[in-house]
Amino acid sequence: MPPESIAFVALGVVSATQVIHLSFRSCSSTIDAQNHTCLQGHAISPPRIQRRELHDYFYTTSAVEMENAIMQYKFNSEGDAALVFGSQALGTVPLYRIALFHRGVDHFYTANENERSNVVKNLGHKDEGIVGYIYPSAVCCSVPFYRLYNPRMDDHFYTANKSEKSIAAQTLGCVTEGIAGYVLPV
Protein backbone atom coordinates (compact mmCIF):
# COMPACT_ATOMS: atom_id res chain seq x y z
CA MET A 1 0.00 0.00 0.00
CA PRO A 2 1.58 3.34 -0.97
CA PRO A 3 2.08 5.87 1.86
CA GLU A 4 -0.34 8.29 0.19
CA SER A 5 -3.23 5.87 0.76
CA ILE A 6 -2.61 5.30 4.47
CA ALA A 7 -4.82 7.34 6.79
CA PHE A 8 -3.64 8.73 10.10
CA VAL A 9 -5.67 8.67 13.25
CA ALA A 10 -4.73 10.40 16.42
CA LEU A 11 -4.67 9.32 20.02
CA GLY A 12 -7.85 10.63 21.57
CA VAL A 13 -11.36 11.78 20.77
CA VAL A 14 -12.58 11.69 17.22
CA SER A 15 -14.71 14.67 16.30
CA ALA A 16 -15.66 16.10 12.96
CA THR A 17 -14.74 19.55 14.26
CA GLN A 18 -11.21 18.41 15.02
CA VAL A 19 -10.17 17.36 11.52
CA ILE A 20 -7.20 19.41 10.37
CA HIS A 21 -5.18 19.49 7.20
CA LEU A 22 -1.52 18.66 7.59
CA SER A 23 1.15 19.75 5.17
CA PHE A 24 4.16 17.59 5.80
CA ARG A 25 7.40 18.35 4.04
CA SER A 26 8.98 15.80 1.75
CA CYS A 27 12.21 14.29 2.93
CA SER A 28 14.11 11.07 2.60
CA SER A 29 14.41 8.45 5.26
CA THR A 30 15.23 4.76 5.09
CA ILE A 31 12.36 2.46 5.95
CA ASP A 32 12.77 -1.11 4.71
CA ALA A 33 15.42 0.17 2.29
CA GLN A 34 12.93 2.48 0.56
CA ASN A 35 12.71 6.23 0.36
CA HIS A 36 9.71 7.50 2.28
CA THR A 37 7.83 10.72 1.71
CA CYS A 38 5.75 11.97 4.59
CA LEU A 39 2.04 11.66 4.12
CA GLN A 40 0.11 14.70 3.02
CA GLY A 41 -3.59 14.82 3.75
CA HIS A 42 -6.14 14.96 6.53
CA ALA A 43 -5.57 13.76 10.08
CA ILE A 44 -7.65 13.77 13.23
CA SER A 45 -6.21 15.84 16.06
CA PRO A 46 -8.00 14.80 19.26
CA PRO A 47 -7.20 15.80 22.84
CA ARG A 48 -5.28 13.85 25.45
CA ILE A 49 -7.59 13.18 28.39
CA GLN A 50 -6.97 12.86 32.10
CA ARG A 51 -9.00 12.07 35.19
CA ARG A 52 -7.23 14.07 37.88
CA GLU A 53 -8.70 12.31 40.91
CA LEU A 54 -7.42 9.01 39.50
CA HIS A 55 -4.11 10.50 38.32
CA ASP A 56 -4.55 8.72 35.00
CA TYR A 57 -3.87 9.81 31.43
CA PHE A 58 -5.74 7.94 28.71
CA TYR A 59 -5.07 7.66 24.99
CA THR A 60 -7.08 5.73 22.40
CA THR A 61 -7.79 5.70 18.69
CA SER A 62 -11.35 4.46 19.31
CA ALA A 63 -14.03 7.16 19.22
CA VAL A 64 -16.43 4.93 21.18
CA GLU A 65 -13.88 4.18 23.88
CA MET A 66 -12.94 7.86 24.17
CA GLU A 67 -16.55 9.01 24.40
CA ASN A 68 -17.17 6.42 27.13
CA ALA A 69 -14.13 7.62 29.10
CA ILE A 70 -15.36 11.22 28.93
CA MET A 71 -19.08 10.63 29.50
CA GLN A 72 -19.05 7.72 31.96
CA TYR A 73 -15.74 8.15 33.76
CA LYS A 74 -15.50 11.96 33.63
CA PHE A 75 -12.11 12.29 31.96
CA ASN A 76 -11.22 15.82 30.79
CA SER A 77 -9.45 17.03 27.68
CA GLU A 78 -5.93 18.41 28.02
CA GLY A 79 -5.17 19.17 24.40
CA ASP A 80 -3.58 17.33 21.53
CA ALA A 81 -1.24 14.40 22.10
CA ALA A 82 0.17 13.03 18.85
CA LEU A 83 -0.73 11.56 15.49
CA VAL A 84 -0.38 7.82 15.03
CA PHE A 85 -1.45 5.25 12.47
CA GLY A 86 -4.74 3.43 13.08
CA SER A 87 -3.50 0.34 11.25
CA GLN A 88 -0.11 -1.16 10.50
CA ALA A 89 1.84 1.06 8.09
CA LEU A 90 5.26 0.61 6.53
CA GLY A 91 7.92 0.77 9.24
CA THR A 92 5.52 1.02 12.22
CA VAL A 93 5.06 -1.19 15.27
CA PRO A 94 2.10 -1.63 17.62
CA LEU A 95 1.64 0.77 20.54
CA TYR A 96 0.25 -1.33 23.39
CA ARG A 97 -1.85 -0.13 26.33
CA ILE A 98 -1.58 -1.88 29.67
CA ALA A 99 -3.60 -1.08 32.79
CA LEU A 100 -1.22 -1.06 35.76
CA PHE A 101 -2.75 -1.62 39.17
CA HIS A 102 -0.66 -0.16 41.98
CA ARG A 103 -2.29 2.55 44.11
CA GLY A 104 -4.98 2.95 41.47
CA VAL A 105 -5.09 2.56 37.71
CA ASP A 106 -2.27 3.87 35.56
CA HIS A 107 -2.51 3.37 31.82
CA PHE A 108 0.93 2.47 30.53
CA TYR A 109 1.90 2.55 26.83
CA THR A 110 4.80 0.80 25.15
CA ALA A 111 5.90 -0.17 21.66
CA ASN A 112 8.36 -2.70 23.11
CA GLU A 113 6.96 -6.24 22.89
CA ASN A 114 9.36 -7.56 25.56
CA GLU A 115 8.40 -4.79 27.97
CA ARG A 116 4.70 -5.45 27.33
CA SER A 117 5.12 -9.20 27.93
CA ASN A 118 7.05 -8.64 31.16
CA VAL A 119 4.52 -6.18 32.59
CA VAL A 120 1.57 -8.46 31.74
CA LYS A 121 2.96 -11.96 32.38
CA ASN A 122 5.42 -11.37 35.21
CA LEU A 123 3.85 -8.42 37.01
CA GLY A 124 0.19 -9.38 36.52
CA HIS A 125 -1.15 -6.23 34.87
CA LYS A 126 -3.97 -6.14 32.29
CA ASP A 127 -3.15 -6.04 28.58
CA GLU A 128 -5.68 -3.75 26.88
CA GLY A 129 -4.41 -4.35 23.35
CA ILE A 130 -3.09 -2.20 20.54
CA VAL A 131 -4.14 1.47 20.48
CA GLY A 132 -2.28 2.46 17.32
CA TYR A 133 0.97 2.11 15.42
CA ILE A 134 4.07 4.26 15.77
CA TYR A 135 7.62 4.27 14.46
CA PRO A 136 10.22 2.47 16.62
CA SER A 137 12.91 4.94 15.54
CA ALA A 138 13.06 8.44 14.08
CA VAL A 139 11.95 8.77 10.46
CA CYS A 140 11.13 11.70 8.24
CA CYS A 141 8.81 14.21 9.93
CA SER A 142 8.47 12.18 13.13
CA VAL A 143 9.10 13.42 16.68
CA PRO A 144 9.83 11.55 19.92
CA PHE A 145 6.85 10.43 22.00
CA TYR A 146 8.31 10.90 25.49
CA ARG A 147 7.34 8.68 28.40
CA LEU A 148 7.52 10.20 31.87
CA TYR A 149 6.56 8.80 35.26
CA ASN A 150 5.35 10.70 38.32
CA PRO A 151 6.26 8.53 41.35
CA ARG A 152 4.29 10.75 43.73
CA MET A 153 1.08 10.20 41.74
CA ASP A 154 1.99 6.73 40.42
CA ASP A 155 1.13 7.90 36.91
CA HIS A 156 2.70 7.77 33.45
CA PHE A 157 2.50 10.80 31.17
CA TYR A 158 3.21 10.93 27.43
CA THR A 159 3.92 13.89 25.19
CA ALA A 160 5.46 14.72 21.84
CA ASN A 161 6.11 18.27 23.03
CA LYS A 162 9.68 18.79 24.28
CA SER A 163 8.74 21.91 26.31
CA GLU A 164 5.84 20.09 27.97
CA LYS A 165 8.22 17.23 28.81
CA SER A 166 10.62 19.68 30.50
CA ILE A 167 7.84 21.41 32.44
CA ALA A 168 6.46 18.06 33.68
CA ALA A 169 9.93 17.06 34.88
CA GLN A 170 10.74 20.41 36.52
CA THR A 171 7.40 21.32 38.12
CA LEU A 172 5.51 18.04 38.62
CA GLY A 173 8.39 15.82 39.66
CA CYS A 174 8.10 13.52 36.65
CA VAL A 175 11.04 11.30 35.82
CA THR A 176 11.82 10.83 32.13
CA GLU A 177 11.68 7.13 31.23
CA GLY A 178 12.82 7.67 27.66
CA ILE A 179 11.07 7.59 24.33
CA ALA A 180 8.09 5.27 23.79
CA GLY A 181 8.48 5.60 20.03
CA TYR A 182 8.17 8.21 17.29
CA VAL A 183 4.93 9.87 16.20
CA LEU A 184 3.86 12.64 13.87
CA PRO A 185 3.40 16.09 15.38
CA VAL A 186 -0.04 17.67 15.71
- In the predicted model, what is the mean pLDDT of the chain? 74
For residue 135, give the DSSP letter.
B
Distance CA 40, CA 7 (A): 10
> Would the pTM of this model clear 0.85, i.e. be above it?
no
For the chain, give me the number of helices (H) and strands (E)?
Answer: 3, 15
Mean pLDDT value of segment 98-106: 79
| 91: confidence class by pLDDT, cuts 50, 70, 90 | confident
| Structure-model confidence comparison of residues 77 and 122, the more confident one | 122
pLDDT, position 174: 94
For residue 63, give the DSSP letter.
H
For the ranges 13-22, 25-34, 107-116, the maximum mean pLDDT occurs at 107-116
pLDDT, position 51: 65
